[in-house]
Homo-oligomer: A and B are copies of this chain.
Amino acid sequence: MKMKQKLEVTSSRPYSIFLGVGLEDLGAYLEKELGGIEHLLIVTHPRVKEHYLERLINGFSAFQCDVLVVPPGEEEKSLERLSKLTSEAVACGADRHSVVLALGGGVIGDLAGFFASVYMRGIRFVQIPTTLLAQVDSSIGGKTAVNHPSGKNLLGAFYPPLVVWTDFSTLETLPWEEVLNGLAETVKHAVLGDAALFSFLETNQQKIIDRIPEIYQELTSRSLQVKVRVVMEDEKEKGQRMLLNLGHSFGHALETEAAYQGISHGKGVSIGMIAATYLAEARGLITSAEVKRILDLVKGLGLPIQIQGKDPEILLHLMEADKKNQKGQKVLILPDKIGHALVVRDACDEEILQAWNKVIIK
């Protein structure tokens, strides 16, 4: 069963999100809708290339096509890889009229999107998310970036794609660990903005673990609608959009501490969201009953709520590089009930340390 859906994002440059479409149909869409495209530059991941490139390229007989393969790993979201992509793009004759296709997960989307935003001062690009994380979250909203030794996603651009093209069949070959990364963001979207989605996840917990395709289409669609709604209200992240960073201030610190190696993004967000929830509870913002529901869902899906052997002081220090911070003051996102969150600007280091201590196993 394939159910097609189309969502329109009205940002400074409007674009469409297609859900439940087939990889092999993108070529026809580009030909019909966008015209004047001759050269496609596909940026992808070795495993994704092996499973899905052929189906995508089958639809591209009208175009000249080049494929740039990026090795696996978050460490490829770097200026060094950007530089290599640039050399490769020039070598295969990419010009201002070429279109970059990001075929892969969040790393590919962020990297290829940022590359497209700066190559010759900006060429067009298309997101083709193949992981749950990319489908529910990172392919939406126009944020692109690479990491830097001084911070995650520190260099980037707000650069909306032409179109987001989501074929759910790419989830079939996705390792469970990567499914969890997407589920962490889905729970986050439910906690910060959609109580009904939260209940849906609670009710369908076992079906999610059993990887029932219909449940995934539903949760993806509902999850990204939370994001689209927030992004449309605040494209450049000056206000409400910061809510999407629930769990990320704490989570990025965990990822940075582990140099993006020891901990997945999903686990970082999961533990980070729990830390934020504990901090909200300590402030009396959220009831203990709701905290318990959040803990139960996160655990029930197999996501972590604690981590072993970290130093809270080091993690606190790493939170200083967070892009949301202002005048040296840490800006946090805290849930005040299931389905709603707040921007908090007055958290002191002591309460942040207390929250860290609740998620760290000594």
Residues on A close to B: CB < 8 A?
38, 79, 82-83, 86-87, 90-91, 93, 95-97, 117-122, 143, 145, 148-151, 153-158, 236-237, 321, 323-328
Number of this chain's copies in the complex: 2
Are B326 and A95 within 8 A (Cβ)? Answer: yes
Q: Contact partner of A154 among B120, B154, B157, CB < 8 A?
A: B120
Which B residues are CB-close (under 8 A) to A120? 154, 156, 323
Are A156 and B118 within 8 A (Cβ)? Answer: yes
Most buried by B among A120, A121, A150, A323: A121
Are B148 and A121 within 8 A (Cβ)? Answer: no
Are B86 and A148 within 8 A (Cβ)? Answer: yes
Which B residues are CB-close (under 8 A) to A156? 118, 120-121
User: With A and B bound together, what is the CA distance between A91 and B154 in angstroms?
Assistant: 13
Most buried by B among A117, A145, A328: A117
Q: Main SS of chain A's interface residues? A: mixed
User: For residue A38, which residue of chain B has the nearest CB?
Assistant: B327
Q: Contact partner of A326 among B97, B148, B324, CB < 8 A?
A: B97
Which B residues are CB-close (under 8 A) to A38? 327
Which B residues are CB-close (under 8 A) to A83? 79, 148
Are B95 and A121 within 8 A (Cβ)? Answer: no
Are B121 and A118 within 8 A (Cβ)? Answer: no
Are A86 and B150 within 8 A (Cβ)? Answer: yes
Which B residues are CB-close (under 8 A) to A151? 90
Write the nearest CB–CB distance from A45 to chain B, whole angstroms.
22
User: For residue A87, which residue of chain B has the nearest CB?
Assistant: B150
Which B residues are CB-close (under 8 A) to A155? 82, 86, 118-119
Q: List 10 A-B contacts (CB under 8 A).
A: A82-B155, A86-B148, A86-B154, A90-B151, A93-B328, A95-B325, A118-B118, A119-B155, A120-B323, A121-B153
- Leading 3 A-B pairs by shortest Cβ distance: A90-B150, A121-B156, A118-B155
Are A145 and B121 within 8 A (Cβ)? Answer: yes
Q: Contact partner of A157 among B122, B145, B327, CB < 8 A?
A: B122
A122-B326 contact, Cβ under 8 Å, with A149-B87, A150-B90: no
